[in-house]
Structure 1
Amino acid sequence: MPETVPAYTAAQVRDAERPLLYDGQPLMDRAAAALAQIVQALVDEIIDERPEEQPRILVLAGSGDNGGDALLAAAALQRADVEVLTTGTRVHEHGLATALAQVAELVELADLRDAGTVCDLVLDGILGIGTAADPALRGTARDAVSLLLPAVRDAATRVVAVDLPSGLQPDDGSTADDTVLPATVTVTFGAVKVGLTVGRGPELSGELVLVDLGLGDGLADVPAAGEASISRVVEG
């Protein structure tokens, strides 16, 4: 049953996370475990629909924490063929090593073009709440999203956005252009970002799932920037 919860700016969420990170709490590991649970349920749905072959999962891994979350979640997936495309000049090294050691294969953009662009599911971990005032995707990230968009728009490929759809500004819900993957599900961590609820946020975020990382104390006295309707809360 849908639930209404407060929504916060990126700065408010970062401020609430800071003392937990200072105390050494493994927020990324907890976020990734919850994300893996949600993605695995989608993988299992695809297998139920088409049991004769394993689903093809593509991880778009940016250089920040969202890329790390996506990679660590991918490492825990079962019964799926997992490919990883790194989209930045850097990558979360521990997340990548873990994914490659468990289930994943590293691919290049040319490999996607050669193999065809229809994946069963894309895990969008390109950008997060560190997105600049101009949220436009660039370079490999932009090329990959452009390549995947037709299949996503035709509903041949599902998308799980990690924290928020890459290219969506986290505070005002704006986008620089249409090179953004519309999510089937957005799994947002700690608190709902207000950009998911305004501007193009509702159009691009799909079903909203909140992963509770224990930010309640840090947000208790913070005025919410808005409110959001979520489908469920998952403990992280």
Structure 2
Amino acid sequence: MTELLTAEQMRSTEGSAIRTGEVSGAMLMMRAGQGVVGAVAEAWPELENGVRRAVVLCGPGNNGGDGFVVARLMHARGWAVDLYLYGDADKLPPDARANHDLWAALGEVFPLTGKTEPGEADLLVDALFGTGLTRPVDLPLDSYEAPRVVAVDMPSGLCSDSGRVIGDLAMAADLTVTFHSLKPGHVLAEGPAHCGVIDIVDIGLEDTEAPSDGHVTLVDLPEGALGKAGGHKYVSGHALVLTGGSGRTGAARMAARAALRSGAGLVTLGVPGSAQQEIACQVTAEMLWRVDGAADLESVLEDDRLNALCIGPGLGAERAAELVPVAAKAGRALVLDADGITGFSETPEELFKLLHDNCVLTPHDGEFARVFPDLGERLNGPLKEGPGFSRIDAARIAAARAGAVVLLKGPDTVIAAPDGRVAVHAATGERAAPWLATAGAGDVLAGLICGLMARGMEGFEAAQAAAWLHVEAALMFGPGLIATDLPEMLPEVFFELGL
């Protein structure tokens, strides 16, 4: 399980290790510098030979201290190194000042100002500001260029808690070397675009526990997470997906197909009379029940073997307003997507009163902002100081307010439970699947969650597993994907997982 540590949590972890005597600040700084140099050698082995020039930009804090270590170690490897310091050497923290003085015995420390032009180099090392940045950087960060840029801990200008740019500019790195753990800013918002490849370096804190407050994990799918289906079909659950009227059934049909492919024993489409013939011509494995209005849904839900519902894809706001209260009152596992959420844009508090803790809301950013307008405004407004309000913050507050699990969709999908638990699924780096940005992909995700909940998974766990499976299916298919391809890739995904 990979944790995402905020700047404050990382400071606390380091401080705890230093207080117990496990390490010293100087040791951590030395290990960080060694880690950066090692990561550079691994990323660009071609730089091991010949005449190489590096420009190292050091900031006024301990991130700058790491930069002084990097400069010294690269000098020892035969690099020509030009080092620039932003700020006053006399104001550096003690460990950073000590490493400044060690470098000063080897080479010059040039002042870095807004007018400085470092010149050409094979490598640019950004050790200006790491995880603790709280203000815009008063430097032309976009003008510092080299064929290869490595950021120490976090590209300067980027908020490590939110992944948002503070002010207007942030460095763009090809490689970011961070220490002990990923930070939220590496995977959220603009972070992935600025960080490039991320290398996590061990600096000797593996035995130090991080603070438990605000615990956030990165979603992975551990062995056995989905269990194994067995017994008759009702053991694996019966999911109901409600559809819209004639000409608006495609989204629900995709959701139903995903629920069935995810392992639900039965999946039924709840269909208004106007759409029965349309759907009957399109589906084979899914069953049909006529559900015109609230009374029909109440009747259907008398069958207590029906244990999970998906409401929203292509449903229509009017139909959602009528059917969601009935579904929520039944107390079954419930996934609300699209119109199932935005049907209550004018009265979100009424929706929240209906929900229970085994409901999952799956909004994209626009739907989220319509139901949680204050949180959407904070996320989308300019960031003038850090730590910035993040998608983690927004989803956590939204889940507590709604009393339900909230899955905030995006490449950086955030899943929050009403009890404060949060997980992030990052479809970045090796798991980037930009072709998932296609119509209907969100409907498939809603169906996946519903199917897993029908199998008995709780909402928070089902949302995490579905987010992982959704991306895995997209990666397995590749470019050219359309939403209907996703459910059909699931058998291959499950086979690879040994299920």
> Which 4+ residue blocks in structure 1 deviate beyond 6 angstroms?
none
CA separation of 1:62 and 1:157: change in aligned 2, threshold 3 A = same
TM-score by length of 2: 0.38
Q: Does 2:210 match 1:219?
A: yes
The answer for unaligned runs of 5 or more in structure 1 is: 232-236
- Aligned residue for 2:128? 126
1:74–1:82: 8 Å Cα contact kept in structure 2? yes
Match of 2:100 among 85, 93, 96: 96
Q: Would you tell me which structure has more strand in proportion to its own residues?
A: 1
- Aligned residue for 1:234? none
Displacement of 1:42: 5.3
Which residues of 2 match residues 68-217 of structure 1 at below 5 A? 68-77=65-74, 78-89=77-88, 90-91=91-92, 92-102=96-106, 104-109=107-112, 113=117, 117-132=119-134, 134=135, 136-138=136-138, 142-143=139-140, 145-148=141-144, 152=145, 156-213=146-203, 214-217=205-208
2:12–2:211: 8 Å Cα contact kept in structure 1? no
Distance 2:101 2:66 in 1: 13
**Larger Rg: 1 or 2?**
2
Distance 2:8 2:211 in 1: 15
CA separation of 1:173 and 1:193: change in aligned 2, threshold 3 A = same
CA separation of 1:109 and 1:31: change in aligned 2, threshold 3 A = closer
Which residues of 2 match residues 47-86 of structure 1 at below 5 A? 47-48=48-49, 51=50, 54-77=51-74, 78-86=77-85
For 1:192, what is the secondary structure of its paired residue?
A: coil
2:56–2:84: 8 Å Cα contact kept in structure 1? yes
TM-score by length of 1: 0.77
CA separation of 1:230 and 1:69: change in aligned 2, threshold 3 A = farther
Distance 2:44 2:52 in 1: 7
Displacement of 1:179: 2.5
CA separation of 1:41 and 1:99: change in aligned 2, threshold 3 A = farther
Distance 1:74 1:162 in 2: 12
CA separation of 1:33 and 1:46: change in aligned 2, threshold 3 A = closer
1:183–1:205: 8 Å Cα contact kept in structure 2? yes
Give the aligned CA root-mean-square deviation in angstroms.
2.7
Match of 1:18 among 15, 20, 40: 15
Match of 2:4 among 4, 7, 14: 7
For 1:130, what is the secondary structure of its paired residue?
A: coil
Displacement of 1:69: 0.8
Deviations 1:61-96 (A, max 9, x none): 011111111111221111211011001234432112
Counterpart AA for 1:218: E
Displacement of 1:36: 2.3
Distance 1:230 1:75 in 2: 31
Distance 1:42 1:80 in 2: 16
Over the matched positions of the two proteins, sequence identity in percent amounts to 28
Q: How many positions carry a matched residue from both structures?
A: 209
CA separation of 1:94 and 1:35: change in aligned 2, threshold 3 A = same
The answer for unaligned runs of 5 or more in structure 2 is: 219-425, 431-499
For 2:103, what is the secondary structure of its paired residue?
A: helix
Identify which range, 194-203 or 172-181, moves more after superposition: 172-181
Counterpart AA for 1:137: V
Displacement of 1:12: 1.6
Distance 1:22 1:44 in 2: 38
CA separation of 1:162 and 1:127: change in aligned 2, threshold 3 A = same
CA separation of 1:100 and 1:45: change in aligned 2, threshold 3 A = farther
